[in-house]
């Protein structure tokens, strides 16, 4: 039987279930990845499971998000992460080494393996021919403890790439074209598998960019073949022995297909405030720009910054623009320095930032009030930049440079001749900032005063009653539920404290009201919980007493996080019933039997509506137990 790449890898890692679309399956996980923003909580969860060492082939802990050290809180988290890594057998990437997804692609990604990461952009490794999935930290902790990862078997959407990109058009424009066609909901419960003769024209970093932003379609992950281009990249990294060819069989069948002629793609731009609000750059040219930021896990590779350097050579940044550049890793920075390509960036007037996420997650470089900021990042949600009324646009590195030079949104094709660049046959390598746990193991784990133990939650009661604490609209993101930024992110290891910021940008009184009312319900629209994998957006509401979220539909990772912490994710059986519930309504729900259809009583309105519980038997059991951690601890206790 002819199979897709997805089917080949899943069949080799299938622990439970059948590869039938919509059915629950369990995957054996080869590698795990955490970053410091989600990692401290993930390792607190792992420690609570009582497992002496990680059971994966490889687990990695990166520090790349909470990099500002304004007080003791972030440094304490970093020290805790390093200690945990040494104790439990995890490779630790020190602060300043680079962004987890860029580093993983360079030094650890291998075709044909599975990766589970506590970051929604983990699918970047799909550019190397991996099934790489973003998940909540508790799911990653469970994988480190040897548990399989459960998910609904996705359908495979084949994206056929033909032709070749024109000058000044890059991989960022390709994924913006995909987003324009699929929207931020079009990839839910799908894996995007790229194929066709156009694939071989794209380098591994370009494939990584496309796989990275496939997340914004809601897709489970994205994947590319492993071919001679993959082999050359691994060879340059000194890892040629880890290469294996991997492609779909000629007769493989896709659930759906999307055809993209690369030659017809033009420079594109995502307008505020959604990655799928895409238009040609030529249609919005001329708008004055205040800030341009180049970097993030999407566009900080050596390929990207070589192009940026070549385009900036001999030119100056407009006096009205602040241009920042964040290399994705120390390796990228070292290679730019070794070839003299760092100098044009400095001479142009660009600000070279640390090898970290930085502005992408609201840590530094907030735009001016009502400022226009062009970013090569993956998200432009309102307020994510740190300035609530800023207008953030997503663009390619080429469009970013053109606009930084002219001071206004500019089609990069007006820059003249497109420079020719090539990746080195052998990269300048330095792994000195990775710490091997085998070299200096320890049994001592130091916890600073801001690191609090996980709250414990009781099993689900037979009846849920309470008020609607808040009602929100469509596409509410995890940034809306529990924002990022320097002040809040420093509290990621302190659930009681960080819970005070739940919905703070939408309704500052939410946390105090939830505590006063002793919890209740949240009502949401379509695609509730889109965006990052931060499980704090589920755990903080749980701490405040939220019992269920009733929405028109959910984003995949957030729905899993709700289950993991014992919050019922319910959908309106008839979406029109959304209009019949208001903030402050008193609701009553009998959940003694967690059937697929439940009746929700609105005591305030005197009405009853049907809601759907689209969970597997296993997931229902997790909710009943009070969440995944409680269920795993019970399982471990039975084993011992």
Active site residues: 64-65, 119, 379, 532, 534
C-alpha to C-alpha distances, 589 to 464, 528, 548, 568, 608, nearest whole angstrom: 5, 21, 10, 11, 10
Backbone angles phi, psi at 56, to 5 degrees: -85, 165
CA 533/CA 623 separation, integer angstroms: 19
CA 542/CA 558 separation, integer angstroms: 13
DSSP, residue by residue, 209-222: HHHHHGGGGTBSEE
> Which helix or strand (DSSP H or E) is residue 303 part of?
helix 302-312
CA 396/CA 298 separation, integer angstroms: 10
Residues contacting 516, CB < 8 A, separation 6+: none
Q: Are 228 and 215 in contact (CB under 8 A)?
A: no
CA 228/CA 212 separation, integer angstroms: 21
CA 439/CA 426 separation, integer angstroms: 27
DSSP assigned state of 192 = E
CA 215/CA 190 separation, integer angstroms: 11
CA 101/CA 70 separation, integer angstroms: 25
| Alpha-helical segments (H) within 192-290 | 204-213, 228-236
Q: Are 411 and 398 in contact (CB under 8 A)?
A: no
CA 268/CA 213 separation, integer angstroms: 14
Q: Are 563 and 623 in contact (CB under 8 A)?
A: yes
Q: Are 466 and 521 in contact (CB under 8 A)?
A: yes
Q: Are 622 and 564 in contact (CB under 8 A)?
A: yes
Alpha-carbon torsion, ordered 90, 91, 97, 103, to 10 deg: -100
CA 586/CA 568 separation, integer angstroms: 17
Count of all residues that appear for the chain in the document: 640
| CA-atom Rg of the chain in angstroms | 24
CA 381/CA 476 separation, integer angstroms: 9
CA 346/CA 353 separation, integer angstroms: 11
Report the candidate in 289, 121, 306 with the shortest Cα–Cα distance to residue 208: 121
Report the candidate in 482, 495, 461 with the shortest Cα–Cα distance to residue 566: 461
Residues contacting 96, CB < 8 A, separation 6+: 67, 330, 354, 355, 356, 433
Backbone angles phi, psi at 464, to 5 degrees: -110, 125
Report the candidate in 218, 167, 166, 172 with the shortest Cα–Cα distance to residue 192: 218
Helix axes 628-639, 137-144, angle to 10 degrees: 20
**Which pair of structure tokens corresponds to residue 286?**
């001329």
């Amino acid at each position: 039987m002819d199979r897709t790449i997805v089917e080949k890898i899943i069949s080799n890692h299938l622990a439970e279930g059948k590869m039938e679309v919509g059915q629950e399956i369990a995957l054996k996980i080869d590698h795990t990845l955490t970053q410091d923003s989600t990692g401290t909580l993930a390792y607190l969860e792992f420690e609570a499971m009582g497992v002496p060492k990680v059971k994966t082939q490889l687990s990695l802990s990166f520090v790349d998000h909470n990099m500002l050290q304004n007080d003791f809180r972030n440094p304490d988290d970093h020290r805790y992460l390093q200690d945990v890594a040494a104790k439990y057998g995890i490779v630790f990437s020190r602060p300043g080494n680079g962004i987890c997804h860029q580093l993983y692609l360079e030094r650890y990604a291998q075709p044909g393996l599975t990766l589970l990461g506590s970051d929604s952009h983990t699918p970047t490794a799909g550019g190397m021919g991996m099934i790489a999935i973003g998940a909540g930290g508790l799911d990653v902790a469970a994988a480190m403890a040897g548990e399989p990862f459960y998910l609904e078997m996705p359908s495979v959407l084949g994206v056929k790439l033909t032709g070749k990109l024109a000058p000044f058009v890059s991989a960022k424009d390709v994924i913006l074209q995909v987003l324009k066609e699929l929207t931020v909901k079009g990839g839910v419960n799908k894996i995007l598998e790229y194929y066709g003769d156009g694939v071989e024209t794209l380098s591994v970093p370009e494939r990584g960019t496309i796989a990275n932003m496939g997340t914004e379609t809601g897709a489970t992950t994205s994947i590319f073949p492993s071919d001679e281009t993959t082999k050359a990249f691994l060879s340059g990294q000194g890892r040629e022995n880890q290469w294996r060819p991997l492609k779909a069989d000629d007769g493989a069948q896709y659930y759906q297909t999307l055809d993209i002629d690369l030659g017809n793609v033009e420079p594109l731009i995502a307008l505020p405030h959604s990655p799928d609000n895409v238009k040609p750059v030529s249609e919005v040219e001329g708008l004055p720009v205040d800030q341009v930021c180049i970097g993030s896990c999407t566009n900080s590779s050596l390929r990207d910054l070589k192009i940026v350097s070549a385009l900036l050579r001999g030119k100056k940044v407009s006096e009205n623009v602040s241009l920042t550049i964040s290399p994705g890793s120390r390796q990228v920075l070292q290679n730019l320095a070794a070839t003299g390509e760092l100098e044009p960036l400095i001479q142009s007037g660009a600000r070279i930032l640390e090898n970290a996420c930085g502005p992408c997650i609201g840590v530094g470089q907030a735009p001016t009030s009502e400022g226009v900021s062009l970013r090569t990042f993956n998200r432009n949600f309102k307020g994510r930049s740190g300035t609530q009324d800023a207008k953030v646009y997503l663009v390619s590195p080429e469009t970013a440079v053109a606009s930084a030079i002219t001071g206004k949104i500019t089609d990069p094709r007006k820059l003249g001749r497109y420079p020719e660049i090539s990746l080195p046959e052998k990269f300048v390598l330095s792994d000195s900032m990775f710490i091997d746990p085998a070299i200096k193991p320890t049994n001592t784990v130091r916890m600073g005063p801001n690191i609090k133990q996980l709250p414990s939650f009781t099993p689900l009661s037979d009846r849920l009653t309470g008020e609607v604490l808040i009602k929100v609209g469509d596409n509410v993101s995890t940034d809306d539920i529990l924002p990022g930024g320097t002040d809040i992110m420093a509290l990621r290891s302190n659930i009681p404290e960080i819970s005070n910021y739940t919905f703070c940008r939408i309704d500052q009184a939410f946390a105090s009201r939830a505590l006063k009312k002793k919890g209740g319900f949240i009502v949401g629209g379509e695609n509730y919980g889109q965006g990052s994998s931060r499980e704090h957006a589920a755990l903080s509401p749980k701490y405040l007493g939220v019992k269920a979220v009733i929405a028109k539909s959910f984003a995949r990772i957030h729905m899993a996080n709700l289950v993991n912490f014992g919050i019922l994710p319910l959908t309106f059986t008839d979406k029109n019933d959304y209009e019949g519930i208001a903030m402050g309504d008193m609701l009553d729900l009998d959940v003694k039997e967690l059937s697929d259809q439940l009746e929700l009583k609105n005591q305030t309105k005197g009405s009853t509506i049907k809601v759907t519980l689209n969970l597997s038997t296993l997931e229902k059991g997790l909710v009943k137990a009070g969440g995944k951690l409680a269920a795993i601890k019970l399982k471990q206790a039975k084993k011992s």
